[in-house]
Amino acid sequence: KAGVTQTPRYLIKTRGQQVTLSCSPISGHRSVSWYQQTPGQGLQFLFEYFSETQRNKGNFPGRFSGRQFSNSRSEMNVSTLELGDSALYLCASSLGGLPYEKLFFGSGTQLSVL
Amino acid sequence: AQKVTQAQTEISVVEKEDVTLDCVYETRDTTYYLFWYKQPPSGELVFLIRRNSFDEQNEISGRYSWNFQKSTSSFNFTITASQVVDSAVYFCALTTSGTYKYIFGTGTRLKVLA
């Protein structure tokens, strides 16, 4: 069974640009959540989707947005990139039926903003 | 407010030593779930254990053991006879029923030296 797939693995952008990251969950998983990981900050919750609906959202500015498609694949978009957006963005999937399921993580997308 | 604190930023031990990683959590909810995840250099977080707030039984799995104490709001993780392959960043996380949001600590980097 394939794991959670995130693309691209690495991304370099400049300030002001926008970026779209993609996540394909494990087959059968309907919940996808996104986390930002920076040194010293740990993982910060961005948002969670289940069956194309956002069920929760973290404390990030509106420049961060996401969506989920009918096949459960998800994308997150960051507009008007800032230097502080440089981070590892992790996607996690779960079956989604219960709010305390274990998460399966992808290897992440390392975003560098210059 | 919910919070997870991992006060140990980095720990170095020599192979075969025992090591305990500390995790202290805060929540006002009576129903909550605690997790430990391991992040090896590849970046992909791997689930280790989940505990609910009603089950304070300690658990042992091979060289790993967990000590959950509600009285001190702690969920500590011990590795017995550490090995070089245990080198990774370990995260403690908390979620409460219905939020679909996981609060992670800042992680503890464990280095096991040969």
Q: Quick one: CA torsion of B25, B54, B100, A88, rounded to 10 degrees? A: 40
Measured between alpha carbons, how far is residue B95 from residues A8, A13, A91, B51, B91 in Å? Answer: 29, 33, 17, 11, 13
Task: Name the DSSP class of B44.
Answer: -
C-alpha span between B94 and B1 (Å, rounded): 12
CA A98 to chain CA centroid, Å, is: 20
CB-nearest to B101 from A48, A105, A108 is A48
Ranges in chain A, pLDDT < 50? none
User: How high does pLDDT run on average in chain B?
Assistant: 93
Spatial neighbors of A102 by CB under 8 A, at least 6 apart, are A94, B35, B47, B50
- Residue B2 in contact with partner chain A when CB distance is under 8 A: no
Residue A81: HSE in the Cβ half-sphere, 13 Å Cα cutoff: 18
Q: Test A99 with B98 for CB contact under 8 angstroms.
A: yes
Q: How confident is the model at residue B99 (pLDDT cuts 50, 70, 90)?
A: confident
Residue B3 confidence (pLDDT): 95
The mean per-residue pLDDT over the stretch B77-87 comes to 96
CB pairs under 8 A between A and B: 64
CB-nearest to A107 from B43, B103, B107 is B43
Q: Test B95 with A43 for CB contact under 8 angstroms.
A: no
Q: In the structure encoding, which two tokens stand for residue B43, read together?
A: 């970046």
Kindly tell me the burial class for residue A84, based on how many C-beta atoms sit within 10 Å of its own C-beta (0-12, 13-18, 19 or more).
Answer: exposed
Taking contacts as CB-CB distances below 8 angstroms, the residues of chain B near A88 are: 43
With beta carbons less than 8 A apart as the criterion, state whether A82 and A113 touch: yes
**Which amino acid appears at position B65 of this protein?**
S
Question: pLDDT tens digit string along A48-75?
Answer: 999 999 999 999 999 999 999 999 999 9
